[in-house]
Structure formats: structure tokens, C-alpha cells
Amino acid sequence: MKVKHIAEISIALLFARWKQTLIAAIGVTFSIALFITLLGFMEGLNGLLDSLVLNRTPHIRLFNDIRPTEIQPIEISEKYKNHYNFIKSIKPAIARNQLHNVDAILNTLEKDNRVEGVAPRTLAQAFYSLGTIELNGMVNGIDVEKEAKYYSFADYIPEGNYMDLKNVANSIILGIGAAEKMLAKIGDVIIVTTTSGDQFPLKVVAYFQTGMADYDKVQSFVNISTTQKILGKSNSYINELQIKLKDLNNAPPIALEYSKIFKVDAEDIQTANAQYSTGSDIRSLISYAVGITLLIVAGFGIYNILNMMIYEKMDTIAILKATGFAGKDVKRVFINIALSIGAFGIIAGSIVGFLLCFMIDNIPFEIAAMPTITTYPIDYGINYYIIAGVFALFTTYFAGWFPARKASMVDPVVIIRGK
Amino acid sequence: MLDKKVLEAKSIYKTFTDPVKIDVLKDVSFTLDYGEFASIIGKSGCGKSTLLYILSTMDTDYKGELFIDNQSTYKKSEKELAAIRNEKIGFVFQFHYLLNEFSVLKNIMLPGFKSNKFTEEELEKRAMNLLEDLDIKKLAHKMAHQLSGGEKQRVAIARSMINDPIIIMGDEPTGNLDNKNTDIVFEIFNELTSKYKKTLLIVTHDMSFADKTNRIITMDDGRIVS
Ligand SMILES: Nc1ncnc2c1ncn2[C@@H]1O[C@H](COP(=O)(O)OP(=O)(O)O)[C@@H](O)[C@H]1O
Ligand SMILES: [Mg+2]
């Protein structure tokens, strides 16, 4: 039996009850559209929130934590070797957590093809002074080009040119919170006082704004050589290497590997930001659960209409079988009807879903934290359309399968005799 | 060719157990030869319809043997039986049973879609020829539910002919028609045997109809008595 003829019979039956069929199809359309909109919006939001943190977070940080020496002198002493030594209130001896052999580490990382880039940092505790005001601050020495390349540094600069950090000597990019407090404008010179009392005049070339107020009040960025100068250290003095990997998911094992090879502390992004990805995952999970529930409900709609159709079309089914259609042919007719409703719903739903996403995408949404964001975020991923489509096909197939099986088992004799 | 058996029933027994056990058919045996126009008569409830459903392969729950076109139907699958029904048997019911969702032409062509014996163009041509023979060509593009009872029954006969079956069975096909239409239907059946050389087996309670057929099979209480 030709597909064309099965289709012809399906369509005739479908149009005989076109109102109910349409309602079932609208049910699928609606659920597909909502599935796509819900996930597009939720994942867009997730992406936004994640990027707030993850984009500027290194995948692996290499540093030396300040900690007391593990082997205390008394344990080396011959005299007390066979004693139990109780030591209380151990204090770390090294003041600065410098990273040693940076050149060797950088060499190794450069050869590692899992690594996309490395940006060094040198941190200096300091005070910002402007007139009589003194504010607590943290001066981050960075390589601004690498920061821009690997950590979207430019996204957080609402005013000023970040490249001036490199081009203008003794320049600083102030957090917007600190700048407001100090009334420091671009072009102004502020004084940075180190913990050891030395003072450095630095010119404000730009502001940065991350959206995290506490961070923006305290942090500032200078060129790495400027921090080294402030601290009175050589140009090999680096506190931290921030590594960006090609695949962030490999961070935990690679971090472990590096900490063993380089004998440093290595922290991966997953450990550092566990709460963010958990939040995203749960939001995604809820969206999928709601979306899939909608699709299943639409499946019940199809199941209902088909069941109804089969009761109404008993005579038709009986006559098809009496004139030589096998149970299998009848089953194909009804599964065809279900799949047609599903296919219509998928196509219409995808279009409506896309339009809804497009509408949301154009609603203005401005937050201080994200100068580059002007409208609600939407993830237009084709994968949501595919998931919705595949799942809807499955649901409609199963919704059609049970009524179709029932139809295929109709005994024509019972129906014909019943007249 | 003429002595070829089209249908052969060998001691068919049928029992209903619901609500009480009744033997509806008892040891029914007969053969139909090629080109015969036979009628089955008998009192209401004597098992005529039950027998016809068995002979048409729709009912498989019986004891005995059935040969259609010298082929045993024993242990054939539902699918194989459907194919036999589709290609070898034409069926006309009392209540015409056209599909209301389709036009007259499509109704006639539908069993042809299943068999793939003819192309769609051939089927359409055959259907139109049948409609012309039955004098209802002008109805071809009407919807089935727009026809009168007599017209519907003629369409049903055309449908039973579409796959060029070897036998046509009817369960009181004129039971629901007035005298004029009964005569028309009889004339058509007569033509099917004379012109198309079809074998016909028609259940009827209309004695004047039966009298005009070649052979009368009389049933009483589940048995063939003559
Ligand atoms: N499904 C059934 N269950 C039980 N008894 C049935 C069933 N169908 C028919 N019968 C009985 O079988 C007998 C024969 O019925 P049927 O073949 O329709 O008679 P006819 O067509 O000769 O009038 C009747 O007594 C009827 O009541
Ligand atoms: Mg009867």
C-alpha cells in the first residue's frame, strides 16, 4: 500500500474532524513555542549570569598560598626527634606569595595545546588617596592586552580607553565605586600609598564596572610593571598566573596535574565557582521539566482526539477492514494522523517560539553591571528547536500509537453486525 | 474454466458462547462454481449472516475448512486474509457502508489503493467505467453522504467490483431498498454474472429476488437444507 494513499485516507479523516484536530495541533504548537521560548530565555539568562562571573574568571589559577611551613624546626632537631612536639599558634613566615620559576612555567604552558592563553598578575595591597581621603584598595598588575584577549576586559570599561594602561606610563584604571567616592575623573592623578608607606602618583585613564559593588569599590588595575615598581620588586615578581583553557570542562584534572608538576597551588574554575554552575544547572533543569511537561500534556490532547475519532469512525474502520485493509494499514492511518498533528505543531510552534524569543530579545533591559547588555538575553540555540521537535514527535507517536492499535484491532464483524 | 470451484466450504461449525452456548452453524458444506449466481434464503436468525462473515474471511473463529479460489484459508494471518478479501472478494452490505469522508469516485477506488494491482489512473478509469455501467456516472464527484439509498447501494456494488474479484457476496443488499431499486440492483447483479462472468452469493429474504437466481441455498437453524 502506497504512503500516498495512506496519507490520503489520514487527511480525509483528519479534515472530517478538523476542529478537534486543530485544537490538538494548537496544543502542540503552544507547547513547542513555550518550550523554545522558555529555554531560549532561561538559557540566555543563564549565559548572561554565567558570563558575569565565568567570562572573567580564569579556568585555572596558579599561585602560592600563604601557609605555615609544614615541617617546623623542632621536628628536624636531633634532640627532640623522639618526642611528641605540640606547637600552637604557628604563623607563616613568608610575607609575599610569590610564584617561583615563572619563566619555566610559562614555557611549559605555552607548549601545552590544551591551553588557550595565560595572563600574569601581580597584586599589591594599597590605599587610594585623593586629598585627605584614603581608601582601602587592591592594585592588580595586569598585562592588559592578554586580559582583553582572554577575559573580555573591554566589556567592563564603560568609560575611557583601556589600552592607555599600556600606552600611558604610570596609569591606573579605577573601579567605578572607588572613582565615585574619590570624585576622580578621567585624566585626574590619584596617589596610591603602599602598605610600607611609599606613595605613587597614578593617572586615571579609564573606569571599570563589573556590577559587583564591593569589587568595584576596592579593585583597580595597573600595568604589571607598575605594581612591581610599587612593591619594589624585580620584573620576575608574579603572584598569579591565570590560565584560559580551550575546554573549560577539563579544568579540574589539568589543575591537579599542574599543581603536581609546578608544586604550586592550582584552583580550577569549577571549584572556585561551584555555586554558579549549580544555579545554572537547576534553572535549566526546571525549564526542561516544565517544557517537557507541556509537551506531554499536548500528547494527551492528541491521544484524546484520536480516541474520540476512533469511536466516531468505527464504521469507516470496519469498512476499510472488510474491503481488505489489514490491521497494520489502519494503524498506519491513525499514526499518520497523530504525526501530522505533531508535525504541524512542531513547524507552527517553532515559528511562534522564534517570534516570541525575538520579541523578548527586543524588550529593553539595562543593568548597571553589564554595559554591553541593552535587551533581555535570549539563547537562539538550534538545539532547543531540535529537542522540542524530537520530543514532540516521540510524544505524538506514542499518543497516536495506543489509539491506532485499538483501531487496528477493531473487529469488522462486530461493527457490521451491530447495525 | 467453467467447472472451476470458486468457493468451497467443508463442514463448517460455529458456536457462540456468549451469553449462552448456541450452535449457529452445524456442518455447513457446499461449493460454488465459476459464474454461478446463488442466493441464500432462510428464516431470520438461522445463521445466514454468520455464514457469510465466515465465507468472506472476516470471521476466523469457526471449525471446518474454507477454500477460496482453491486456496485454503486455514492458518492464514490477518494480513494474508485481508489481501484475499481485497483481491478476490467483493462485499455488499445491507446498509451500503460507504465512507462519508470521501467522494463517490474515491469510495470506489479505495480497495484498489490497497491492492496495488492497478495504477491510480487505471483505477480511476475502471471506477468511471463501472459508474457508467451502473448508470450513475453523474454522481462520481458527489460526496457519499449526499446520495439516496438506492444510489449508495449501486456505488457499493461498483466498489465491490474495483479489484476485479472472483466472487461477490452480499448480505441482504436489497433489504433496505424499495421495489424499484431492488429491481435495479437485481439487474445489475444479473449483468455481473452474464457480462463480467462473476460468481455471486447473495443472502436475501426476498423470495421473488431469490427465485430469479440460478441456484437457491435454503438454510434452517444453522444447516443447509436444500
Ligand atoms: N455475537 C453474537 N453473540 C451471540 N449470538 C449471536 C451473535 N451474533 C449472532 N448471534 C446469534 O446467532 C444467530 C444467527 O444470527 P445471524 O447469522 O445474524 O442470522 P441471520 O443473518 O440468518 O438472520 C442468531 O440467533 C443470533 O442471535
Ligand atoms: Mg442477517
Do residue B58 and residue A412 have CB atoms under 8 angstroms apart? yes
Residue of B99, B100, B118, B162 to mutate, interface with A, max A Cβ within 10 Å: B99
- Which residue of A lies nearest to B168 if distances are taken between CA atoms? A323
List C-alpha distances in Å: A404 to A62, A255, A312. Answer: 63, 56, 14
Q: Tell me which range, A230-239, A299-308, A346-355, is most confidently predicted by mean pLDDT.
A: A346-355
- The partner residues of A190 in beta bridges, in order of sequence, read A202
Fold adopted by B5-224:
Rossmann fold (3.40.50)
Q: Measure the CA angle with vertex A158, ends A224 and A147; round to 5°.
A: 30
- Which residue of B lies nearest to A11 if distances are taken between CA atoms? B101
- Looking at residue A279, its pLDDT comes to 79
Residue of B58, B93, B172 to mutate, interface with A, max A Cβ within 10 Å: B58
B190: its cell numbers: 444479473
- Looking at residue B178, its pLDDT comes to 87
| A50 pLDDT more than 60 | yes
Q: Cβ of A246 under 8 Å from any chain B Cβ? A: no
Q: How far apart are CA A25 and CA A179, in angstroms?
A: 58
- Looking at residue B48, its pLDDT comes to 93
Residue of B97, B108, B124, B159 to mutate, interface with A, max A Cβ within 10 Å: B97
Q: Tell me: ipTM over 0.85.
A: yes
Q: Count CA atoms within 13 Å of residue B151 on its CB side.
A: 16
Distance from CA of B93 to the nearest CA of A (A): 8
- Looking at residue B138, its pLDDT comes to 93
Q: How far apart are CA A407 and CA A309, in angstroms?
A: 10
A394: its cell numbers: 516521540
In single-letter form, the type of residue at position A16 comes to A
Please, which pLDDT band fits residue A404 given cuts at 50, 70 and 90? very high
Q: How far apart are CA B168 and CA B202, in angstroms?
A: 8
- Looking at residue B96, its pLDDT comes to 66
Tell me what the mean pLDDT of segment A271-300 comes to: 84
Measured in Å, residue B205 CA sits from the centre of ligand 2 at 9
- Which residue of B lies nearest to A313 if distances are taken between CA atoms? B99
- Comparing CA positions, the residue from A294, A336, A309 lying closest to residue A26 is A294
Beta carbons of A60 and A270 less than 8 angstroms apart: no
Probe ligand 1: pick from B21, B22, B93, max atoms within 8 Å of CB? B22
* pLDDT tens by residue, B46-91: 999 999 999 999 999 999 999 999 899 988 999 999 999 999 999 9
Please, which pLDDT band fits residue B95 given cuts at 50, 70 and 90? confident
- Looking at residue A299, its pLDDT comes to 86
Nearest to A323 among B49, B86, B102 (CB): B86
The angle, 0 to 180 degrees and rounded to 10, between the axes of the packed helices A274-312 and A18-54 is 180
| B86 chain-A contacts, CB cut-off 8 A | 323-325
| Rg for chain B, CA atoms, rounded | 17
Please, which pLDDT band fits residue A369 given cuts at 50, 70 and 90? low
Please, which pLDDT band fits residue A205 given cuts at 50, 70 and 90? very high
| Rg for chain A, CA atoms, rounded | 33
Distance from CA of B101 to the nearest CA of A (A): 6
Least confident stretch, A314-328, A330-344, A370-384, B196-210? A370-384
Do residue A15 and residue B101 have CB atoms under 8 angstroms apart? yes
| B3 pLDDT more than 80 | no
Nearest to A319 among B53, B59, B99 (CB): B99
Probe ligand 1: pick from B24, B25, B169, B203, max atoms within 8 Å of CB? B24
Measured in Å, residue B197 CA sits from the centre of ligand 2 at 26
List C-alpha distances in Å: A308 to A16, A302, A334. Answer: 12, 10, 12
Ligand nearest to the CA of B14: 1
| A320 chain-B contacts, CB cut-off 8 A | 99, 110
Tell me what the mean pLDDT of segment A368-395 comes to: 86
Query: Ligand 1 atom 19: the closest Cα is on which residue?
Result: B45
Burial B147-161 (b: 16+ CB within 10 A, else e): beebbbbbbbbbbbb
- Give the β-pairing of A219-223 and A133-142: parallel
Distance from CA of A334 to the nearest CA of B (A): 15
How does the average pLDDT of chain A come out, rounded?
87
Which residues keep their CB under 5 angstroms from ion ligand 2? B 49
Name residues whose C-beta falls within 8 Å of residue A352's C-beta, 6 or more positions apart in sequence. A29, A30, A32, A33
Beta carbons of A97 and A62 less than 8 angstroms apart: no
Residue of B106, B110, B168 to mutate, interface with A, max A Cβ within 10 Å: B110
Name residues whose C-beta falls within 8 Å of residue B33's C-beta, 6 or more positions apart in sequence. B2, B3, B4, B5, B6, B199
- Looking at residue A370, its pLDDT comes to 67
Please, which pLDDT band fits residue A94 given cuts at 50, 70 and 90? low
Tell me what the mean pLDDT of segment A64-88 comes to: 80
Measured in Å, residue A322 CA sits from the centre of ligand 2 at 16
Tell me what the mean pLDDT of segment B151-172 comes to: 92
- Looking at residue B50, its pLDDT comes to 94
Nearest to A324 among B49, B106, B111 (CB): B111
- Looking at residue A96, its pLDDT comes to 58
Probe ligand 1: pick from B14, B15, B16, max atoms within 8 Å of CB? B16
Do residue A416 and residue B93 have CB atoms under 8 angstroms apart? yes
Do residue A319 and residue B97 have CB atoms under 8 angstroms apart? yes
By CB atoms closer than 10 A (0-12, 13-18, 19+), residue B28 is: buried
Please, which pLDDT band fits residue B141 given cuts at 50, 70 and 90? very high
Please, which pLDDT band fits residue A331 given cuts at 50, 70 and 90? very high
Probe ligand 1: pick from B14, B28, B46, B218, max atoms within 8 Å of CB? B46
Tell me what the mean pLDDT of segment A32-45 comes to: 92
Higher per-residue confidence, A385 vs A184:
A385
List C-alpha distances in Å: A179 to A8, A162, A164, B223. Answer: 74, 15, 17, 110
Three-state secondary structure call for residue A103: helix
Helix (H) or strand (E) holding A203: strand A199-208
Please, which pLDDT band fits residue A68 given cuts at 50, 70 and 90? confident
Q: How far apart are CA A6 and CA A130, in angstroms?
A: 84
| B114 chain-A contacts, CB cut-off 8 A | 1, 5, 323-325, 329
Least confident stretch, A47-56, A383-392, B120-129, B131-140? A47-56
Tell me what the mean pLDDT of segment A228-239 comes to: 87
List C-alpha distances in Å: A208 to A125, A245, B23, B186. Answer: 19, 25, 97, 98
What part of A 1-60 touches B (C-beta under 8 Å)? 1-2, 5, 8-9, 12-13, 15-16
- Looking at residue A368, its pLDDT comes to 66
Do residue A324 and residue B97 have CB atoms under 8 angstroms apart? no
Nearest to A328 among B79, B87, B163 (CB): B79
Please, which pLDDT band fits residue A76 given cuts at 50, 70 and 90? confident
Measured in Å, residue B49 CA sits from the centre of ligand 2 at 4
Higher per-residue confidence, A339 vs A235:
A339
Q: Tell me which range, A121-130, A318-327, B92-101, is most confidently predicted by mean pLDDT.
A: A318-327
- Looking at residue A250, its pLDDT comes to 86
CA end-to-end distance (rounded Å), chain B: 26
- Reported pTM: 0.75
How does the average pLDDT of chain B come out, rounded?
90
List C-alpha distances in Å: B134 to B87, B111, B122, B128, B149. Answer: 21, 18, 18, 10, 14
In chain B, % of residues over pLDDT 90? 66
- Which residue of A lies nearest to B54 if distances are taken between CA atoms? A413
